[in-house]
Amino acid sequence: MSVIEARGLRKAFGTTVALDGIDLRIDEGRIVGLIGPNGAGKTTALNAILGLVPYQGELRVLGRDPWTERDQLMRDVSFIADVAVLPRWIKVSQVLEYVAGVHPRFDRGKAEGFLAKTDIRSGSRVRELSKGMVTQLHLAVVMAIDARLLVLDEPTLGLDILYRKQFYDSLLSDYFDRSRTIVVATHQIEEVQHVLTDLMFIDRGRIVFSCSMDEFELRYVEVMVRPEQVVAARALGPMHERQALGRSILLFDRGVNQKLDRQQLAALGEVRTPSIADLFVAVLCNKPGNLAGGAQGVAR
Amino acid sequence: MNSQSDAVPESFDSQGSAPAALSATRPFYWSVRRELWEYRSIYLAPLAAAAVYLIGFLISLIRLPEKIRAAAGVDPAKLRAAIVMPYEFAAGLIMVTTLIVAVFYCLDTLHGERRDRSILFWKSMPVSDMTTVLSKAIIPVVVLQLVAFAVTFATQWIMLMLSSVVVLGSGLSVATLWRQVSLFEMSWMLLGHLLIMHGLWYAPVYAWLLLVSAWARRGALLWAVLPWLAIFAVEKVAFNTSYFAAMMGRHFGGSGQGGASQGMSPIIGVQFSSLGSPGFWIGLVFAAIFLAAAVRLRRYREPI
């Protein structure tokens, strides 16, 4: 059963096209990373999924039309937009009271349990909390909601490394199970790499690349080529080449060039799995259109 | 806009309605409570006005026995004025305070949630835009009026008690005082006046302010006032008439419906009979249109 299904999703602000015909399908139990440069359309895509902006094309989230059924949809969908959306005047206890009042799937005891592990006191107002604590509070609320889809848009923006790590750790250990789905848009690719099950690159309003993390690890190989092997390595058709510490690092797509096996590549230099960031750069440097993997944008 | 119109698949629907034991009124109730948390001036401002007034009244009590003695033999109308006026004045002061609170509340509420980005949090809750806007509209129309009533009622009782103590202390009988000040009758009139005049007759004003608050990026107060001034100016220049201003004046100035300017004096019957006038219902229709527009706007609105 797909949680999100979009066909030809388009959104323009005046003459600026934010989403240029996106097709995607996200299934239950996946943690999908939506990755793209600034202004690529990540936030617009997420806002369309959440029913915050109108759009053209077809979009179904949990079988509903988000734009016309936002309030119904929000029983099953949670989202953290970015760190600063909790109103500053509200008290921690009031946040819990309010959500318990309006949300049928909120477990207040659970939220209080999460908060007990932090330094947040229930009498404090949000304006008295640090940025990291506000995020902890919002996360505690969201994790206590028994939702089927969680959407995170730059959830750790502006947080120090401790809070960022904690954020994803608790998300994985205390929240995620196979019946939930998480979509996260972020710039901080490195810290979500170990969390994700699927990967989607978005650029200029289009999904330019997508694959599962399993596929990613099987398919892409990075070789730190020894200087004397560079010419031979280039002959094998790498999708991208960069220089680091005086050595050439070549990225190969084994999906395109089936003959490449790890042993062959190992002869050229040190072989490893690339980081998502490296693949991202490689994909975006190549012209959109003739990309490895195609732009069908299907994450399973 | 959205090309699909097929019904919600069965499986999702049954899941969605399972915990619907939560009745439709609960989100509304909690949305109203939320407003009271955020805008504490809704009850603090009338309380402060009452407190200030009571201090002044307490000081004025020094002269009360003297006033009663002086007026004892003379005109009963004068006596009544001397004794009852402070009570009406207290009601008027609290009324004006709540009116000011109502105007600023309406102008700020849908604007403020976009300004501090909290609209994204509220929209992440299963509460519809309609519920939200209605919960905000009921604050000036009902909640503030009830607060004004409760505060006035309490203030007037405190005034009467204080007066009685002073009068007794100076060896006079409280009978005159209690005969003149008929608090229960006054309270009923006040409640009717607040709910009918300040609540329902002014509802289109509140609804308009809410609409501007949902629409304006900045300068909500200007946008709230300028269009009406523009209509007035155009009419004045084009036809050298001022029907529009006169119409507005009649509607909200209250000359026809026993208005605020006359304080507590109009009898309650006048207020109830005003409910039958077409102007009242036209006003409510406008209020409904403005609120519907505000609901629609909020759907499209993002943080500023």
10-residue mean pLDDT series, chain B (304 residues): 41 42 80 96 97 94 80 71 85 94 96 92 94 97 97 94 88 80 85 90 95 93 92 92 86 53 48 80 95 95 84
Select the more confidently predicted residue: A285 or A127: A127
Q: Whole-structure pTM over 0.90, yes or no?
A: no
Question: Residue A82: what pLDDT?
Answer: 72
State whether A70 and B128 contact (CB < 8 Å).
yes
Select from A51, A72, A138 the Cβ nearest to the Cβ of B16.
A72
| Concatenated DSSP letters of B27-71 | HHHHHHHHHHHH-THHHHHHHHHHHHHHHHHHHHGGGHHHHHHHH
pLDDT grade for A174, boundaries at 50, 70 and 90: confident
CA B245, B248, B252, B254 torsion: positive or negative? positive
Paired residues of B72 in beta bridges: none
Question: Residue A295: what pLDDT?
Answer: 36
Number of residue pairs across A and B with CB atoms under 8 Å? 117
What is the nearest CA distance from B294 to chain A, expressed in angstroms?
A: 16
Select from A51, A71, A105 the Cβ nearest to the Cβ of B19.
A105
- ipTM higher than the 0.90 cut: no
Residues of A in contact with B33 (CB under 8 A): 98, 101
Alpha carbon distance B301, B304 (integer Å) = 8
Residues of B in contact with A138 (CB under 8 A): 121
pLDDT grade for A285, boundaries at 50, 70 and 90: confident
Asked if A272 has any chain B CB less than 8 Å from its own CB, the reply is: no
State whether B121 and A85 contact (CB < 8 Å).
yes
Select the more confidently predicted residue: B24 or A57: A57
Residues in chain A: 300
Asked if A75 has any chain B CB less than 8 Å from its own CB, the reply is: yes
| Concatenated DSSP letters of B185-231 | HHHHHHHHIIIIIIIIITHHHHHHHHHHHHH-SS-HHHHHHHHHHHH
Residues of B in contact with A98 (CB under 8 A): 30, 33-34, 125
| Cα separations in angstroms, A279 against A186, A188, A250, B85, B288 | 15, 14, 11, 81, 55
State whether B126 and A74 contact (CB < 8 Å).
yes
Instruction: Give me B84's structure tokens.
Output: 């009852």
What is the nearest CA distance from A226 to chain B, expressed in angstroms?
A: 52
Interface test with B, best of A9, A61, A102, A181 (most B CBs within 10 A): A102
Name the strand (E) or helix (H) holding A8: strand A2-13
In chain A, alpha helices (H):
42-49, 70-73, 92-102, 108-116, 131-143, 161-170, 189-192, 213-219, 230-235, 262-266, 276-285
Q: Please calculate the CA angle B128-A176-A273 and round it to the nearest 5 degrees.
A: 125
Residues A119-123: what's their mean pLDDT? 93
Residues A65 and A39: beta-carbon distance below 8 Å: no
Alpha carbon distance A135, A138 (integer Å) = 5
| Side-chain half-sphere CA neighbours of B286 within 13 A | 17
Q: Which residues neighbour B8 within 8 Å (Cβ) at sequence distance 6 or greater?
A: A63, A64, A69, B16
Alpha carbon distance B197, B260 (integer Å) = 8
With tokens 């200087």, the residue in question is A227
HEC-encoded secondary structure of A81-108 = CCCCCCCCCCEHHHHHHHHHHHCCCECH
Pairing of strands A181-185, A206-212: unpaired
Instruction: Give me B98's structure tokens.
Output: 């709540």
